[in-house]
Structure 1
């Protein structure tokens, strides 16, 4: 039996419709000279997701590509500040990010998301929101020992002593991508090399031109 709050949600859901913009992605791509895409960086904490996403973003800016980085910590300061780190909250966090990334995609921007996003099913749901060709999963595949050795925020040390519960890689699982578009050993490869690989893939997938 549905509750009043359930009925309110149903009521809202039935009385909205998608507003189609007067300027579509194709028109924006023609004007800007590049397509939009979602670059979904995933990996353990300390694997270099944010560092790589921001370095790729800087390179895209340098060559005249419209792009933006959605960072996990930044998003939790506002959009997802009401969420914790339980499995359910992690799933909701990624659901929201997937929807925001979809809006950026529609705006003609190359959107880079840097989130642990530990569960394969959540990443698959984010991918399912858009055409498969619009979503590039980038696995920052640094090994746990390398991430823990870096531990830039001191999180692994706290997790090992029980100060942080449900920490991915220690007390909560990380499900590696099965067939990501790009897999990088960010524990051993230099940052510049990783950036070059991502840029080349964007050219290969016709997101950006070979010579912007």
Structure 2
């Protein structure tokens, strides 16, 4: 019986050490685990701001990662369409991955349209004890259509793309986001710098 008790105790000790690893890693990286969730219409500037923020954090010696909606749709979420149920699952999977990365010690930046408030609330719930920072990239439909770098709005207007957010599918702006960035007024660099300042200021880390 004694050997079994010793093995059980050893497994318990190892389990406790594994549970403490994410917090110690976060301390080493001089920050708390964080998910920065950028939401907004296609073309609002989410990915550009996310990439600019990642570059700034890297320059400061802080480890971060970007989870981009378009990239996720090519791999992890390639089996999903654009129905309401699939959009919810898209947000859920992304939130689960974001939480794992944040718990591993990375500042995790999510750039995802995530048009429905309920789906973003689900993402916040999944984050659990991980700090969740919802950022509304506020650009009007007219502004996003004027940019239309990928030509998606033109295709949506022509009926070639179905269930396109802002045209044939709804977008629900956040009611009470942690931060609003109006990209019609600020450059990508200015937006990323403001976001970095807000996210890393001492009071927001408490």
The interval holding the TM-score normalised by the smaller chain is: 0.7 to 0.9
Q: 1:20 to 1:48 in 2, by over 3 A?
A: farther
Give 1:173's match in structure 2, choosing from 163, 167, 170: 170
Q: TM-score, normalised by structure 1?
A: 0.85
Q: Larger helix proportion, structure 1 or 2?
A: 2
What SS does the aligned partner of 1:145 have?
A: helix
- Is 2:113 the partner of 1:130? no
Whole-Å Cα distance in 2 between the matches of residues 203 and 128 of structure 1? 22
**In the alignment, structure 1 residue 192 sits paired with structure 2 residue 196:** no
Quote how far apart the aligned CAs of 1:31 are.
Answer: 1.5
Q: Which residue of 2 aligns with 1:105?
A: 102
Equivalent-residue separation in structure 2 for 1:65 and 1:206 (angstroms): 18
Residue 48 in structure 1 maps to residue 39 in structure 2: no
Shift of 1:200: 1.0
Secondary structure of residue in 2 paired with 1:89:
helix
1:33 to 24, 30, 33: 30
Q: 1:205 & 1:136 partners in 2: Cα distance?
A: 14
**Alpha-carbon distance, 1:20 to partner:** 7.9
* Counterpart check, 1:89 vs 2:91: no
Q: CA RMSD in A?
A: 1.9
Specify the alignment match of 2:5 in structure 1.
Answer: none
Tell me the secondary structure at the aligned position of residue 127 of structure 2: coil
Counterpart contact for 1:35–1:206, Cα < 8 Å: no
Say yes or no: does 1:77 pair with 2:74: yes
Residue in structure 2 matched with residue 3 of structure 1 by the alignment: none
Per the alignment, do residues 83 and 171 of structure 1 end up closer, same or farther by CA in structure 2, a change over 3 Å counting?
Answer: same
- 2:7 match: none
Name the CA distance, whole Å, in 1 between partners of 2:170 and 2:17. Answer: 39
